[in-house]
């Protein structure tokens, strides 16, 4: 496989820097572009300067400059920025890995349309462990289809702006799909006051925000006389970076199409 030329969006952020470090350490990849928002104090600086070993790649806000000659853009930013990047990448044949959360259905539809022109891997969580957990949840849901109440509890750091997390919502979609339901029809996102008895077909969500929690997710299957809990806990964002590089390798020979981490890991 030839060396993949990688660009990173949100290059001066926590996740962006984690991605840059991972690319710099990879033998089969090279950092070829770095993006940040207009007005960022990091614009014009070397994207890898924080590592003490400059990459010779300046952080840009101009898409044409940042993505010139790039094979894959990795994007963990905000929906509005991601949609701008998707439109440009589709037009210029740049592949994308999208880990942005908080996407509405209209955003997902735009990404799916762009995937007709370029290869895109979209996942709310790039962690290999999380995506294996998704498969376990699918299996568990089919076995616990009757007589078990399902609740999803997630915890993240105080700076996270969306809730429930994209990962929690994806878990809900996987479970609902395994049960032959649509998440929109059965999800319960808040409980307060006199709520009445629990609808046995519902999937409940609870979100916790505090401190520097990277990301904890637990799915509770509560039956009569027993509870089954399937939990994944992240202690570092490095798992998301490593999963993203694995996804970039997967996209290397793809011309177009919309994929997720289940495709990357061969779990479908």
Q: Which residues are catalytic?
A: 156, 160
Place of tokens 């997630």: 154
- Unique residue bearing structure tokens 């950092």: 31
Q: What does R_g of the chain's alpha carbons equal in angstroms?
A: 20
Coil, strand, or helix at residue 252? coil
Interior/surface letters 249-265, b for 16+ CB within 10 angstroms, e for the rest: ebbeeeeeebbbbbbbb
Residue 214, number of CB atoms within 10 A of its CB: 15
- Report the alpha-carbon distance of residue 63 to residue 73 in Å, rounded: 11
Query: Could you give the C-alpha distances from 15 to 9, 46, 92, 126, in angstroms and in order?
Result: 9, 16, 25, 12
């Amino acid at each position: 496989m030839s060396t993949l030329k990688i660009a990173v969006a949100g290059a001066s952020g926590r996740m962006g820097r984690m991605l840059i470090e991972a690319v710099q350490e990879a033998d089969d990849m090279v950092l070829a572009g770095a993006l940040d928002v207009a007005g960022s104090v990091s614009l014009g600086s070397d994207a890898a300067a924080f590592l003490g070993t400059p990459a010779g790649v300046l952080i840009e806000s101009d898409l044409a400059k940042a993505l010139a000659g790039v094979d894959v853009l990795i994007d963990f930013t905000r929906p509005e920025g991601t949609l701008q990047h998707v439109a440009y990448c589709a037009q210029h044949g740049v592949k994308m890995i999208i880990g942005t959360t908080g996407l509405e259905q209209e955003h997902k539809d735009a990404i799916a349309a762009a995937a007709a022109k370029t290869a895109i891997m979209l996942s709310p969580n790039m962690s290999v462990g999380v995506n294996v957990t998704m498969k376990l949840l699918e299996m568990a849901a089919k076995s616990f289809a009757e007589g078990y109440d399902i609740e999803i509890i997630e915890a993240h750091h105080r700076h996270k702006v969306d809730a429930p997390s994209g990962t929690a919502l994806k878990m809900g979609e996987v479970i609902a799909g395994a049960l032959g339901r649509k998440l929109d029809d059965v999800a319960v996102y808040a409980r307060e006051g006199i709520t009445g008895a629990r609808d046995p077909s519902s999937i409940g969500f609870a979100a916790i925000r505090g401190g520097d929690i990277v990301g904890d997710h637990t799915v509770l299957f509560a039956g009569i006389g027993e509870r089954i809990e399937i939990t994944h806990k992240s202690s570092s964002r490095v798992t998301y970076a490593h999963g993203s590089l694995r996804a970039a390798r997967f996209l290397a020979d793809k011309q177009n199409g919309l994929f997720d981490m289940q495709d990357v890991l061969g779990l479908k």
